Amino acid sequence: MNDLAEQFGDIDVYLFDQLLRGRIAPGMRILDAGCGGGRNLVHLMREGFEVCGADSSPAAIEAVRALAARLAPSLPADAFRVEPVEHMSFPDASADVVIASAVLHFARDDAHFGAMLAECWRVLRPGGLFFARLASTAGLDGQLVALGHNRFVLPDGSTRYLVDEARLSASAAALGGELADPLKTTLVHGMRSMTTWVLRKARA
C-alpha cells in the first residue's frame, strides 16, 4: 500500500480512471488549474509528463515546486505559477488536458464560476480533455441552506458554489464541448455530493 501511495500520491480516483483508460498518455501536456500542493501530479511527474499548474496560494505553489524539484527537476522554473484560475498566464490552447479537481465549487458567484471555466477552456487545445470534480446539488434535496448566487451551506457545514445537471449541460453547450463520459456523482449521505464532469473540446 505504501508503494502505491508513493507512486500515485493522493490522486483523485476518477482522474486515475482517466489514466487507466489511456485518455491521459505520455507526450501530453497537463495543466492543473487550482493545483494546490500537487496531489494529482505525483504519478505524472514520476512518469515524465510535461505538467504545469496555477494556484492563488503562494504556499501551495511553493509546495508543488518542491515536489517538482524532487520528482521532475527538468520542468521549467515557471511551470507552476501563483495566479487565480480565472486569470492564468498560460498561452491559449497550450494543454492537452486541463484538470480542475475540487476547484470550481469555490466560485463566489455565477460570474466567477463562468470566468474560471472559460479560462480553463481557453488554455485547452482543440481535441483536448477537460476533467473537473466539483460539488453539486445531486441527492441533497431539502438538506441545503441557500445563501444566494448558487452558494449553499452543505450538510457537512461547508459553504460551496453548487451546480446541477442542467447547469453543467448548459455550460458544456456554451463552450461547444461534448461529454466524454456520463456525469458521475458520488453522494456522501448527510454530508456532500461530488460530480465528475469530463468534456472533450471540439477539434478545430
DSSP string of 169-193, one letter each residue: HHHHHHHTEEESS--EEEEETTTEE
How many other CB atoms are found less than 10 A from the CB of residue 12?
17
Q: How far is CA 15 from CA 60, 97, 133, 159, 200, in A?
A: 20, 11, 9, 24, 15
Separation in Å, CA 86 to CA 8, 15, 21, 151, 177: 28, 22, 29, 18, 19
Q: Which residues pair with 186 in a beta bridge?
A: 194
The upper half-sphere exposure of residue 43, i.e. CA atoms within 13 Å in the direction of its Cβ, equals 19
Asked if residue 42 lies in contact with residue 8, where contact means CB atoms within 8 angstroms, the answer is yes
- pLDDT of 1: 43
> What is the predicted pLDDT for the residue at 2?
57
- Inter-residue contact 162 to 139 (CB < 8 Å): no
In CATH, what number does 2-201 get?
Answer: 3.40.50.150
Per-residue pLDDT, 10: 72
Q: Distances from the Cα of 163 to the Cαs of 18, 104, 151, 180, 183, in angstroms?
A: 22, 10, 9, 18, 12
Return the pLDDT at 9: 66
CA angle (151, 115, 49) in 5-degree steps: 110
* Number of CB atoms found within 10 A of residue 27's CB: 8
Enter the C-alpha cell of residue 103.
476547484
Give pLDDT, residue 12.
Answer: 86
What is the model's pLDDT at position 7?
67
Reported pTM: 0.94
Give yes or no for a contact between 122 and 92, defined as CB atoms under 8 angstroms apart.
yes
Which three three-digit cell numbers place residue 128? 483536448
| Residue 46 half-sphere exposure toward CB, CA atoms < 13 A | 13
- 76 contacts 51 by C-beta, under 8 angstroms: no
Tell me the pLDDT tens digit for each residue of 65-79. Answer: 999 999 999 999 899
Residues of the chain with pLDDT under 50: 1
